[in-house]
Amino acid sequence: MAEEKKFAGYICTGCGIGERLDAAQLENIATRDGKMQSCKQHELLCSADGVQMIRNDIEGGATHIMIAACSRRAKVEAFNFTDVAMSRANLREGVIWIRPDTEENRETTQEMADDYVRMACAEVKFMTRPNPSGEQDLNKNILVVGGGITGMTAALEASAAGYSVHIVEKSGALGGHAANYYKAIPTRSPYADPQDTGVEQMIADIEANDRITVHLNSTLARTQGAPGRFDVEIATESGTSSQETFGAIIQATGFNLYDPSGLPRFNYTGSPDIITNEEMEKLARNAGGGAIKRPSDGKEIRAVAFIQNVGQNSTEKGQLPYHSGIGDLIAIKQAMYFKELNGDCDTTILFNNLRTPGAPGEDFYRAGQEKMITFSKGEVTEVVPGKTLQVKFRDLILNDNVSMECDLVVLDVGMVPNTGPDPYAQLAVEEAEDEEERAKAQALLANAPPSILNLDYRQGTDLPLLKYGFTDSHFICFPYETRRTGIYAAGPQRRPMDMRQAADDAAGAAMKAIQAAENAGRGMAAHPRAGDLSYPSFRKEGCTQCKRCTVECPFGAINEDEKRYPLFNESRCRRCGTCMGACPVRVISFENYSIDTVGQQIKNVEVPEEWDEKPRILVLACENDAYPALDQAGMSGVEINPWARVIPVRCLGSVSLSWVTDSLNSGYDGIVLLGCSKGDDYQCHFVRGSAMAHERMSKVGDTLKTLNLEPERVEVHEVAITDIERAPKLINDMAETVKKIGLSPFKF
């Protein structure tokens, strides 16, 4: 049985709204045009008294409320009415703060406010109060994939918060790479000496922890489900398996080392005394506190050369296009091993661009100098094996070719992320339209690593990757949050990092995993719409099975049933609405966000006749960057053209082409879409939403041609949250464009 809706509106007159606007007229519009069954004014709606007034009405039966006050981004705690459907008209930041307080502006300022009240009333009328799906209960089990420093830290942090943890480690022991390290880069002042790794203590803490279960020599055979109900098959090397259910997953599979065998000038395979920096750790550890000895003959090492940046930061084929960042700190640490264990051993670090990031930084470098480590800026041209090793290099300070003899050469090789195959490459194979296209897609997967998670997802078996193979987890918008909701990445699989950075990363991922499990248990969305109870639904009878929603969803939230209809996984969904924007037949919607909630706002703007010479410009602004930028513009007193009507959207990816065509047909003179930055350095909180919107809108030109409209009437822009001046200018520029090309012919 459909819910009986009871509508109530509220007009705030505080913060200067009552002085600048006719509140009685707004109240009249809410009841007359907006069809609110009641509408009340209050001098400070966000006050305890104002909030209680609204709460009393809700308790009296109000199910849908419209609040005309400040921005929907302001006073969210005061107006936190989760038991009703709610819309908000932005009269403060969106009207009075962006319009100069002059007599000639009073009419257009009031018109803006009138429209925003109409729009908010129209929006809430087409909302349904969201309710949790009830798909799962709270599951307080966390799965950690990988038992290195990152995985162990994540497990300890999650268990300390009261959660049960399972660690799945493919090898026969915990500790990962760090288990073979002699010492670690210092994490405490004065950063003068290497410190104990702490690995043995961490392993002991895990073994003594009743909340942590460790699966050694194990992998994930299959991962199904969603946050709150991940069903995982854990397979052992011996062939047995077990089933476990988890609330969230942390992937901490770390890194592999770059293999320098393909670089002839370093002659890595030509001598056992030419080793990598990780092999150097094992050499020092195996020395057992005595002198470090040469692998070839066991003689004590009296001279060692560290060659930095081997196969890194290069455009040459087969080398790493990035720099691992911490190699110089590692070299300083390892050079100190020789000063500690081999007396007056000659230690030289050959570098071309010394980097010492993070807390140790300059202090650790200075400590190395004080210990008489030689730092020489040079470009190595050849390492020649023999009774002793000869290192030939170009001295970049003296601009001369020189050479040095040493007993051991240590190559600084970079970190390669230990991640699974690219799911988008897998998807390309499935979506290939012919054999030629399929063969090309399969070629891209020919050398792919084995799957780690073995996800049973329509969109591939593993986490989406960045162009260099690191897990896509945006450092600004959503650290640790991958494109698969409830699965978090931590440690060097996200980017090269040292042990301390990996541990910090793990702690952050553990907290995010806990949040995901808790939110899933309540039926709530994850970041960035944390707490949202809505989730997508669709009208099956209208679905054409075009697959656009399943393919374009950035988060793999949509599978397909046996009849190839979309199958929505509510707790995988981030509520971005990209599926809704993708659907050509408009059958996908959310309870509190739909084609109608936005479409009706567009229709309820009063579009003046052509003789009034008052254009109307529709602005669809992303709620994560563009809308906050416009709010801040209002706070800063930046003027925005009075012809604009701004509607916040969850993401530009959710924008339906029907909103564009309907608004043009209704007589709007221009449309501006403001979304986040796309591309490799994207800022889109929903990853691909902005890119999807740009792709869709590239086809609007054809629609404009059929309507005999100028292409300049629709523009899409990338906006950052800091574009306080630029965002309003883009709107004002559209007003100038309309002035230049004239009003829409659809007004006539």
- Give me the phi and psi of 460, to 5 degrees please: 115, 170
Give pLDDT, residue 155. 98
Q: Summarize pLDDT for 92-106 with one digit per residue, the tens.
A: 999 999 999 999 999
Q: DSSP secondary-structure letter at 269?
A: G
Indicate the pairing of strand 64-69 with strand 85-90: parallel
Q: Please tell me the distance from the alpha carbon of residue 441 to that of residue 453, in angstroms, as a whole number.
A: 21
Q: Please tell me the distance from the alpha carbon of residue 516 to that of residue 250, in angstroms, as a whole number.
A: 11
Count the Cβ atoms, other than its own, within 10 Å of residue 612. 10
Q: DSSP secondary-structure letter at 93?
A: I
233 within 8 A of 242, measured Cβ to Cβ: yes
Give pLDDT, residue 103. 93
Q: Summarize pLDDT for 200-240 with one digit per residue, the tens.
A: 999 999 999 999 999 999 999 999 999 999 999 999 999 99
Count the Cβ atoms, other than its own, within 10 Å of residue 173. 12
Which residues are CB-contacts of 653 (< 8 A; sequence separation ≥ 6)? 552, 554, 576, 577, 578, 581, 582, 684, 686, 688, 689, 690, 692, 693
Q: Summarize pLDDT for 4-43 with one digit per residue, the tens.
A: 899 999 999 999 999 999 999 999 999 999 999 999 999 9
Mean pLDDT, rounded, for 275-283: 97
Lowest mean pLDDT among 386-390, 514-518, 606-610, 722-726: 606-610
Chain centre to alpha carbon of residue 72: 23
Mean pLDDT, rounded, for 551-556: 90
Of 257, 264, 260, the residue nearest 282 (C-alpha): 257
Which residues are CB-contacts of 193 (< 8 A; sequence separation ≥ 6)? 186, 336, 367
Q: Please tell me the distance from the alpha carbon of residue 508 to that of residue 161, in angstroms, as a whole number.
A: 13
Instruction: Give the domains, in start order, of the chain with CATH numbers.
Output: 1-129 (3.40.50.2300), 141-254+463-522 (3.50.50.60), 258-415 (3.50.50.60), 537-575 (no CATH), 607-748 (3.40.50)
Residue 72 pLDDT class (50, 70, 90 cuts):
very high
715: pLDDT strictly greater than 80: yes
Q: Please tell me the distance from the alpha carbon of residue 341 to that of residue 396, in angstroms, as a whole number.
A: 31
Report CA-CA distances (Å) from 585 to 164, 249, 469, 684.
Answer: 45, 35, 36, 25
Beta strands in 461-607 (DSSP E): 487-489, 537-538, 558-560, 566-568, 588-589
Mean pLDDT, rounded, for 120-125: 98
Residue 442 pLDDT class (50, 70, 90 cuts):
confident
Characterize 265-302 residue by residue with b for buried, 16 or more Cβ atoms within 10 angstroms of its Cβ, and e for exposed: ebbbeebebbbbbbbbbebbbebeeeebbbbeeeeebb
Mean pLDDT, rounded, for 682-702: 88
Of 117, 13, 7, 123, the residue nearest 58 (C-alpha): 7
Q: What six digits make up the tokens of 522?
A: 């309540």
Give pLDDT, residue 320. 96
Mean pLDDT, rounded, for 340-364: 93
Q: What six digits make up the tokens of 176?
A: 């990962």
Give pLDDT, residue 701. 81
Q: Please tell me the distance from the alpha carbon of residue 570 to that of residue 578, in angstroms, as a whole number.
A: 14
Give pLDDT, residue 467. 86
479 within 8 A of 490, measured Cβ to Cβ: no
Give pLDDT, residue 527. 84
Mean pLDDT, rounded, for 53-70: 97
Give pLDDT, residue 327. 95
For residue 400, list its beta bridge partners.
395
3-state DSSP of 152-178: HHHHHHHHHCCCEEEEECCCCCCCHHH
What is the separation, in whole angstroms, between the first and last Cα of the chain? 44
Q: What six digits make up the tokens of 479?
A: 């650290």
Residue 2 pLDDT class (50, 70, 90 cuts):
low
Q: Which residue has the tokens 């009405």?
A: 57
Percent of the chain at pLDDT > 70 equals 99
**Taken in order 578, 581, 582, 586, is the CA torsion positive or negative?**
positive
Strand, coil or helix: 601 = helix
- Give me the phi and psi of 396, to 5 degrees please: -80, -10
66 within 8 A of 8, measured Cβ to Cβ: yes
Q: Summarize pLDDT for 620-672 with one digit per residue, the tens.
A: 999 999 999 999 999 999 999 999 999 999 999 999 999 999 999 999 999 99
This prediction has a pTM of 0.92
Which residues are CB-contacts of 274 (< 8 A; sequence separation ≥ 6)? 266, 267, 268, 383, 385, 389, 408, 409, 411
Q: Which residue has the tokens 């995988």?
A: 572
Count the Cβ atoms, other than its own, within 10 Å of residue 680. 7
Q: What six digits make up the tokens of 622?
A: 């992303």
491 within 8 A of 144, measured Cβ to Cβ: no
Count the Cβ atoms, other than its own, within 10 Å of residue 585. 13
Count the Cβ atoms, other than its own, within 10 Å of residue 509. 34
